[in-house]
Amino acid sequence: MYVRRYRVVASIVVASLLSPGASLARPIFPRPLLFQVAPARPEIARAQQQIENGEFEEAVKTLEAGLDAPDVTDDQLVELYRLLGLTSLYLGDEARAREAYEMLLQARPDYELPRTAPPKIRTLYARIKEDIKNRRVRPVTLQVDPIPDPEGSEPVMAQALIQDMALGARARLFYRRAGAQAYSSVDFTRDRTNKERFTATIPAYELPRTASAYEVEYYFEVADAAQRRLAGRGDAFNPLVFQVAPEPGTVATSAASERPWYKSPWLWVVVGAVAIGGTAGAVVYATSEERGRVPITIRVNP
């Protein structure tokens, strides 16, 4: 009973110190959250509830479990580190909060805290960003170009420029044939003549030529020794794509022709037709998974 009462009192006192003018009825967390663009991690929702209940030590354990989970997207990573920094300040551990926000900025260098963030957190965050601006804290940066469509049955090489990669960090290229469940991966290796240039190679046997073209999904990731993402391009939920060419001498059919009709990148839907005099008009919408929605009007005159 006393422990629970202490937690409630502590949460109220800390909230009043960090945000003097805020009402207790005001929600701590803004909506919508960034991580909602991908399947939500249960650790985020659980940690939010624990923080609101004053269970700060439990929230730290929950957030660390979320950070250790596989396939964490950039948006989820940002939210996990943001909550870890908030919880650390509630516990009076400014050094740990600073580390969490530094990791957040490595994952998303242009991230800005919500306007509802407590003043103490905004002050600490501003100091960290100033340190980064003055190069006292250096976030990992990854520059890499998309992989062009290969011929197949040959290795595919990806070159990257990685700056300020921390000791123990690891850069990898993840890939899978479109429709497969799991990703395979290859490590980037450092160029002997330039410590910031790295190369990763997908072996030829992973990309055989077939009678028809097929797509390969992939993404790049730099992670620390604890497998926490520091930088990347694409992720497991939003991968990049290249297409492997078919065998020579065969009719080139695109990977799109082999998809079910409901997964076709161009699905034509007739919305309506209107006949006025001798002119017929039909408005057709073309929707694409990758290109958005394009309105097209077709008119036929007799």
User: Tens digit of pLDDT for each residue in 222-239?
Assistant: 987 667 788 899 999 999
**Choice among 47-51, 94-98, 103-107, 251-255 with the minimum mean pLDDT:** 251-255
* pLDDT higher than 50, residue 94: yes
Quick one: 14 and 120 in the same domain?
yes
Instruction: Yes or no: say if 165 and 198 are a contact pair by the CB < 8 Å rule.
Output: no
CATH assignment of the domain containing 128? 1.25.40
> What's the confidence (pLDDT) of residue 250?
65
Q: How confident is the model at residue 253 (pLDDT cuts 50, 70, 90)?
A: low
102 shares a domain with 46: yes
Chain segment 277-287, per-residue pLDDT in tens? 443 443 333 33
Backbone angles phi and psi of 102, in degrees to 5: -65, -40
pLDDT of residue 285: 39
Domain boundary residue among 133, 161, 196?
133
In terms of domains, do 264 and 253 share one? no
Last residue of a domain, one of 240, 257, 274: 257
Q: Which of 17-26, 227-236, 248-257, 292-301 has the highest mean pLDDT?
A: 227-236
Cα separation, 251 vs 248, in Å, equals 8
CATH code, 225: 2.60.40.10
Q: Are residues 52 and 70 in the same domain?
A: yes
Within this chain, do residues 168 and 103 fall inside the same structural domain, yes or no?
Answer: no
Last residue of a domain, one of 107, 133, 159: 133
Query: What's the confidence (pLDDT) of residue 9?
Result: 45
The side-by-side arrangement of strands in the sheet containing 156-163 is 141-144, 156-163, 197-202, 189-190
Model confidence at 240: pLDDT above 90: yes
Overall number of domains in the chain: 3
Q: What is the pLDDT of residue 23?
A: 39
Q: Does 125 share its domain with 150?
A: no
Give the range of the structural domain holding residue 194, as residue numbers without chain letter. 141-257
Angstrom distance (rounded) from CA 144 to CA 198: 10
Query: pLDDT, tens digit, for every residue of 12-61?
Result: 444 444 444 443 344 444 444 444 344 578 899 999 999 999 999 999 99
Phi, psi of 162 (to 5 degrees): -120, 120
Q: Are 166 and 228 in contact (CB under 8 A)?
A: no
Mean pLDDT to the nearest integer, 139-164: 91
162-187 mean pLDDT: 88
As a whole number, mean pLDDT of residues 241-258 equals 71
Distance of CA 19 to the CA centre of its chain: 30
d(CA 171, CA 161): 11
- Region 155-181: mean pLDDT is 89
pLDDT value at 121 more than 70: yes
Band of residue 259 on the pLDDT scale cut at 50, 70, 90:
very low
CA distance 87 to 94: 10
Note whether 248 and 273 are same-domain residues: no
Q: How many CA atoms lie within 13 A of 87 on its CB side?
A: 26
Residue 107 and residue 17 share a domain:
yes
* Range scoring the smallest mean pLDDT among 70-74, 125-129, 162-166, 238-242: 70-74
**Pairing between β-strand 189-190 and β-strand 214-223 as defined by DSSP bridges:** unpaired
